[in-house]
Structure 1
Amino acid sequence: MIRSLYTRVVLIFLVSVIGGTVLSFFVATWLYRDKLNENLQIPMLRFGKDIVRIYDTFPDSEADDFVRGMNQLQSYYIRIYEAAGQYQSYSEPPGAQLETITAEQVNQVLAGAVVQGNKSGLSTTLLGLPLTTDNGTKAMFIEPIGPPSSAFVLEWITNFSVYSLLTGSIVILVAAMFVVRPIKKLTTATRRIAAGDFNVKLNIKQQGELGTLARSFEEMMIDLQQLEQLRRDFVSNVSHEVQSPLTSISGYALALKQMNLPDSERSRYLDIIIAEADRMSKLSDSLLKLSLLESQTQQLQLSTLSLDEQVRRVIVALQPQWSARSIRFDLQLKTVRLTADHDLLNQVWTNLLGNSIKFSADGGRISVSMKQELKQVAIRISDDGIGISPEDQKRIFERFFKADRSHNRKVGGSGMGLAIVKQIVLLHHGDVRVESEPGRGSTFTVTLPLTAPDG
């Protein structure tokens, strides 16, 4: 089995060209054989008729002398047979392989017939004509001394084909190098990427299929680079998020070993350890939930629910958080029923409303509204909190990303909530987007189909 693409390209070209040339040669010969034979026998037939006319016009001796002096004898060999079988030749070439003339052919010509011999099967190589002389009718046979014109044409075509094949082969050998070169570049780039090196420049500017393949490869390389960066960021973020509570737990556990520690301090340390352990538990739960959502192994448990009622219940469940800070809610909820996963959708409103409460100032206001269209519903959750910068809005739905890290240290959170919201909405074939301006609050808009597909 030939593994080299270069060798395969060259062999395919050679087989195709040689096969096509041979086939075309035989087809053309078969199609034009009769016409070529007809055109090539005309000069010999005319020459024979001229000799017949000479013998009709002049006495035999003068006609013999005239014929022997003709320049055409350099191209044709003449034999004149008598009825007894003897013949007289004119300009017999030395060492020439002449046609064998049978007694039957001689008798046919003496009887007045025109005989044509065809040794090559393509052109006339022997012509027999009746010749009237003073001594009665004789049989004249004319034969070309040199190769027939048709044979010369065939030889020329054959040589031309061979030279064309040789020239074409050399050209394809060079051209195939340029065809295979991008493939070799892609192979080298693939090996470097497999080794972890994403700084690969292909510099392939060809058009067509190879150019499309090269550009697709570059796009894939960029995606892999981003994926690798996300993986590194994920590992770094997980390590950071886990390291912080572990450090606190370890530190306060060591402090508890002090014998003379007051009961109040001991109780405070234990509360901190419990809180940090709970933080790690929530982080682990969020990672597991997000992993299930992204892998799409999470099956939607669809049911028909009242969306406005679900949002109201979530707001009531979060009352301890917003009532303690005197935050007000402005609700514009119409009765909307849709088919969705109740528990997952409940997580969406809990995360979005929880964030709005976290980042709103004391005494702030949060607006929740719904707008139903023909086949979908849009839910808007707006607050007048700290807002999000344009740069952070591009990454707000990434896992572990925290838009305002200085503020997040105060309010807590692992940066997983909006990533989970994004995946749940995508599972429902919906969309979520954010509009925000620093210092003027944020608006999250969730668009959901009224009938979610089975997931």
Structure 2
Amino acid sequence: MIRSLYIRVILTFLVSVIGGTIIAFLVSTWIFEDKLNENAQINIRNFGQDVVRIYQTIPLSEADMFVSEMKQLDSYYIRIYEASGEFQSYGKLNGHKPAAVTKEQVKKVLNGGVVQDTPNGIATVLLGLPLKTEMGTKAMFLEMLSPPSTSFVIKWGLIFASYSLIAGSLIILVASIFLVRPIKTLTKATKRIAAGDFNVKLNIKQTSELGTLARSFEEMMHDLQQLEQMRREFVTNVSHEVQSPLTSISGYALALKQVDLAEHERSRYLDIIIAEAKRMSKMSDSLLKLSLLESQSQQLRLVTLSLDEQIRRVIVALQPQWSARNIQFKLDLQTVKVTADHDQLNQVWTNIIGNSIKFSKDGGMIKVSIQQDIKSLTVRISDTGIGIPLEDQKRIFERFFKADRSHSRKYEGSGMGLAIVKQIVSLHQGDIRVESEPNKGTTFFITLPITPPKEKLDS
């Protein structure tokens, strides 16, 4: 089995050239066969009539001598049959096998008939004419040997086919190099990427299918590079997030081993250990949930719900957080029905409104409104909190990303909430974006279709 693409391409092209040349030659021969035969029949008929007139004009012996010296005998072979079946031939065969003449054909010509046949294919015509002499009627059969014109055409065709095959093969050998070179480049690039090297330059400028493949490969390589970068950041972030509570748990666990530790200190250390353990557990749950959402292994349970009522219930559930800090809510919620996963959507509002409360100043204001059109609705959640820097707004939906790292100790969280929100909104075929200014507040815009396409949700 031939594995080399280069050899396969060459063999395929060679077979194509050879087969195409042979087929073209046979088809052209078949097309011109009738025309060649027609021309041959006209020529041999004219020559035969000239010979008949010779025998009609001059005596038999002189006519025989005249015919035997004719220049045309290089292309024609003449046989003159007697009634007994004996014949006299004129002309040289030169290796040509004469056509068979039957007794019935001889008898027909002797009786004044004409015989015309093409026994050997192209331009080989057998013509039988009655020949009247002073010795009585004889049967003359003329046969056209391969005429110079036909021989030239066949010879020219063979030469053309040979040179066509040679030239075509050379062109194919050169063209196949340029054809296979981009594929070899892609193969080498694939091996480098498999080894972890994403700094590969293809430099394939073609606009054909190979060029399209190369550009798609470069896009894939860029995506893989980003994915690898995300993987490394993910490992780093997980290690960082896990290391902090583990260090606290380990340190306070060692402190608990002190014999003379006061009871209230022991209780405080245990509370810290429990809080850090809960923090790790919450982070683990968030990672698991995000993983399930990204893999779409968790199917959405769609129901028709009242969106405005759901948002009100979330705000009421979060009342202990905002009432203690005297934060006010301004609601503009029109009655809206939407088809969505109740629990998943509930988490979206809990996370976003919870963040708005967390990052708002005491006595601040949070505004929540709903706008609806024919196919979709937009929920707008605005606060007057610390805001998000412009350079961080594009990354807030990444896992573990915390926009305000200077306050990371003050504002607890693993940085997973908005990543989960983004994935839930995407699963509902919706969109989420943010507008924010530092120290002026943040506004989230969540757009959802009123009825998500079922085929997309089931895929």
Q: Does the aligned pair in 1 maintain the 2:129–2:139 contact within 8 Å?
A: yes
* Stretch deviating more after TM superposition (413-422 or 345-354): 345-354
Structure 1 equivalent of residue 413 of structure 2: 413
Which residue pairs with 2:34 in the alignment? 34
Kindly tell me: are residues 95 and 277 of structure 1, through their superposed partners in 2, closer, same or farther at Cα, counting changes over 3 Å? Answer: closer
Partner of 1:325: 325
Q: Does 1:291 align with 2:276?
A: no
Distance, in Å, in 1 between the alignment partners of 2:300 and 2:85 is 109
2:121 matches 1:121: yes
Mapped partners of 1:38, 1:64: distance in 2 = 29
User: Contact conserved, 2:75 with 2:147, CA < 8 A, in 1?
Assistant: no
Offset at 1:178?
2.6
Q: Which moved more, 1:393-402 or 1:54-63?
A: 54-63
SS of corresponding position for 1:219: helix
Displacement after TM superposition at 1:368 (Å) = 1.2
The answer for the alignment partner of 1:231 in structure 2 is 231
Question: Which residue pairs with 2:362 in the alignment?
Answer: 362
Equivalent in the alignment of 1:440: 440
Which shows bigger deviation, 206-215 or 96-105? 96-105
The match for 1:172 is 172
- Aligned partners of 2:129, 2:340: CA distance in 1, in Å? 103
User: Aligned with 2:429: secondary structure?
Assistant: coil
- Flag the 1:250–1:78 CA change in 2: closer, same or farther, 3 A: same
Within 5 A, what are the aligned runs for 1:8-407? 8-23=8-23, 25-30=25-30, 32-60=32-60, 63=63, 66-67=66-67, 70-83=70-83, 89-92=89-92, 97-99=97-99, 105-116=105-116, 118-144=118-144, 149-150=149-150, 153-407=153-407
Q: Secondary structure at the match of 1:409?
A: coil
State the AA in 2 paired with 1:184.
K
Deviates more, 1:301-310 or 1:227-236: 301-310
Distance 1:361 1:121, change over 3 A: same
In structure 1, how many angstroms separate the alpha carbons of the residues matched to 2:36 and 2:318?
A: 101
Identical-pair percentage? 71
User: What is the CA deviation profile of residues 267-296 of structure 1, one whole-angstrom value per residue up to 9, with x for unaligned ones?
Assistant: 443333232222212211211221222222
In structure 2, what residue type is equivalent to 1:287? Answer: L
| Cα distance between partner residues in 2 of 1:329 and 1:420 | 24
Give how far 1:374 is off: 2.9
Aligned amino acid, residue 142 of structure 2: I
Deviation for aligned residue 1:234: 0.9
For 1:383 and 1:232, the matched residues in 2 are separated by 34
Mapped to 2, the partners of 1:204 and 1:88 lie a distance apart of 77
User: How does the TM-score come out when normalised to structure 2?
Assistant: 0.86
- The 1:450/1:136 distance shift into structure 2, 3 A limit, reads closer
Unaligned runs of 5+ in 1: none
- Structure 1 residue 171 displacement after superposition: 2.9
Say which SS state the counterpart of residue 411 (structure 1) adopts.
coil
Tell me which amino acid in the other structure corresponds to 1:192.
R
> Which stretch of the first structure deviates more once superposed, 287-296 or 320-329?
320-329
2:413 is aligned with what amino acid? G
Question: Match of 1:217, as an amino acid?
Answer: F
**2-structure distance, mates of 1:341, 1:131:** 107
Query: Structure 1's 264 and 99: CA in aligned 2 closer, same or farther, altered over 3 A?
Result: closer
Distance 1:93 1:320 in 2: 120
Contact 2:398–2:418 (8 Å) recurs in 1 = yes
Q: 1:318-367 deviations in whole A, cap 9, x for unaligned?
A: 33333333332222222334343333222212211121122222332211
Per the alignment, do residues 29 and 304 of structure 1 end up closer, same or farther by CA in structure 2, a change over 3 Å counting? closer
Contact 2:37 2:125 in 1 (8 A): no
- 1:123–1:148: 8 Å Cα contact kept in structure 2? no
CA contact (8 A) 1:79 1:140 kept: yes
Q: Distance in 2 between matches of 1:86 and 1:346?
A: 115
Taking the aligned partners of 1:301 and 1:125, their CA distance within structure 2 comes to: 88
Q: Distance in 2 between matches of 1:116 and 1:181?
A: 61
State the alpha-carbon separation in 2 of the partners of residues 145 and 319 from structure 1. 113
Would you say the 8 A contact 2:380–2:446 is kept in 1?
yes
Q: Structure 1 stretch 339-348 or stretch 224-233: which is displaced more?
A: 339-348
Deviations 1:19-41 (A, max 9, x none): 45545555554554333212123
The answer (yes or no) to whether the contact 2:123–2:147 under 8 Å persists in 1 is no
Shift of 1:195: 2.4
Structure 1 residue 311, shift from structure 2 partner: 2.3
* Aligned amino acid, residue 320 of structure 2: P
The answer as to whether partners of 2:124 and 2:146 remain within 8 angstroms in 1 is no
Q: Does structure 2 conserve the Cα–Cα contact (< 8 Å) formed by 1:329 and 1:368?
A: yes
Shift in Å at residue 100 of structure 1? 5.6
Aligned-pair CA distance for 1:451? 4.1
> Which structure 2 residue ranges, 5 or more long, are not aligned?
none
The offset of 1:414, in angstroms, is 0.9
Distance 1:104 1:437, change over 3 A: same
Q: Per the alignment, do residues 328 and 72 of structure 1 end up closer, same or farther by CA in structure 2, a change over 3 Å counting?
A: same
Query: Bigger CA drift: 180-189 or 136-145?
Result: 136-145
SS where residue 410 of structure 1 aligns? coil
- Partner Cα separation in structure 2 for residue 78 and residue 68 of structure 1: 9
Query: For residue 449 of structure 1, what is the aligned residue in structure 2?
Result: 449
Distance in 1 of aligned mates of 2:76 and 2:391: 97
- What is the root-mean-square deviation in Å for CA atoms of aligned residues? 3.1
Distance 1:96 1:384, change over 3 A: closer
Give the partner amino acid of 1:223. D
Amino acid of the structure 1 residue aligned with 2:206: Q
Summarize the Cα distance change of 1:64–1:301 in structure 2 as closer, same or farther, 3 Å threshold: closer
Measured after TM superposition, the shift of residue 62 of structure 1 is 5.4
Secondary structure (helix, strand or coil) at the match of 2:344 reads: helix
Contact 1:40 1:150 in 2 (8 A): no
Per-residue deviation, 1:116:
3.8
Number of residues paired by the alignment? 455
Contact 2:365 2:383 in 1 (8 A): yes
The change in CA–CA distance for 1:304 and 1:73 in structure 2 (over 3 A counts) is: closer
- The structure-2 alpha-carbon separation of the partners of 1:335 and 1:99, relative to structure 1 and needing over 3 Å to count, comes to closer
Letter in 2 for 1:196: G
2:275 alignment partner AA: A
Inter-CA distance 373–100: structure 2 relative to 1 (3 Å threshold): closer
Equivalence map 1:424-439=2 (5 Å)? 424-439=424-439
1:382 offset after TM fit, Å?
0.6
Per the alignment, in what secondary structure is the counterpart of residue 338 of structure 2?
A: strand
